[in-house]
Amino acid sequence: MIHNTAIISNKASIGNNVTIGAYTSINDYVEIGDNTVIENYCEIGYATPLAENKKLVIGANSHIRSHSVFYQGSIFGDNLVTGHRVTIREKIKAGSNLQIGTLCDFQGDCVIGDFVRTHSNVHIGKESKIGNYVFIFPYVVLTNDPHPPSDTLLGVTIEDYAVIATMSVILPGVIIHEHALVGAHSLVKSDVPPKMVVAGNPAKVICETAKIKLSNLNESAYPWPKHFHRGYPESIIAQWEKEFGC
């Protein structure tokens, strides 16, 4: 299951039933959980002096697609899935079931909850705090420097179930509260209240998320866990049914 062109450090710890692709390198202090797949041309455990802890932990049952780079010094829970050519830096603590889209660039020093999904080409700046069940769509950038360039790092906070649509920029220190929705191509300069929709440049409050109807039904599209269940375990869906009424 380990390709003969893969370069594996003898200081790495590889679980049972792990697959490692062609031309991939697994460096020192990497711990890979059972049943995980690392595809071709990946660099796992890229060395950096910025890591506080040299260990990189990739949970069990994970799948890292080709051409990806993971730095040392981060921890990912089980069931991590990535697209191709992601760049994931040091000092990230992420929960389980994280999905990272193709070309995403996680700058490190951030905390990510469970069941977070980022689509392609999302840029997560340092000091971001991301809750659980958050959705971030393509080309979104979470910034952190209030007067660039500077040494001030003021990360963005995204609370549980919040959704940020394509090509939006969130300015430093902004809090997107739970169940909020940021419309596509928005510039968000101030906190977004829970369950509200904001959009525009600069973004303004448009309405409550509950006012947005499903395109094919006369029912509210939010909270989204009422209707969107693809890829979640039965136990989560059952919990959502109680909480949101599916």
Q: Which residues bind a copy of itself (CB under 8 A)?
A: 7, 22-23, 25, 40-41, 43, 46, 66-67, 69, 83-85, 87, 102-103, 105, 107, 117, 120-121, 123, 135, 137-139, 141, 143, 146-152, 154, 163, 165-167, 169, 171, 184-185, 187, 200-201, 212-216, 221-222, 224, 227-228, 230
Q: How far is the CB of 10 from a copy of itself (least distance, A)?
A: 16
Cα–Cα distance, 199 to 194 (Å, whole number): 14
Residue 58 identity: I
Q: How far is the CB of 227 from a copy of itself (least distance, A)?
A: 7
Q: How far is the CB of 108 from a copy of itself (least distance, A)?
A: 12
199: β partners: 204
Q: Which of 97, 195, 176 is nearest to 129 (CA)?
A: 176
Q: How far is the CB of 78 from a copy of itself (least distance, A)?
A: 21
Phi–psi pair at 223, nearest 5 degrees = -60, 135
Q: How far is the CB of 47 from a copy of itself (least distance, A)?
A: 11
Nearer to a copy of itself, 95 or 172 (CB): 172
Distances in Å between the alpha carbon of 93 and those of 25, 111, 130, 147? Answer: 22, 5, 10, 27
Peptide bond into 202 cis (omega under 30): yes
Q: How far is the CB of 237 from a copy of itself (least distance, A)?
A: 14
- Cα–chain-centroid distance for residue 141? 12
Cα–Cα distance, 108 to 58 (Å, whole number): 15
Nearer to a copy of itself, 111 or 184 (CB): 184
Q: How far is the CB of 117 from a copy of itself (least distance, A)?
A: 8
Query: Which residues have a Cβ under 8 Å from the Cβ of 49 and sit 6 or more positions away?
Result: none
Residue 119 identity: H
Buried-exposed string 11-46: b where 16+ CB fall within 10 A, e elsewhere: ebebbeebebbeebbbbebbebbeebbbbbbbbbbb
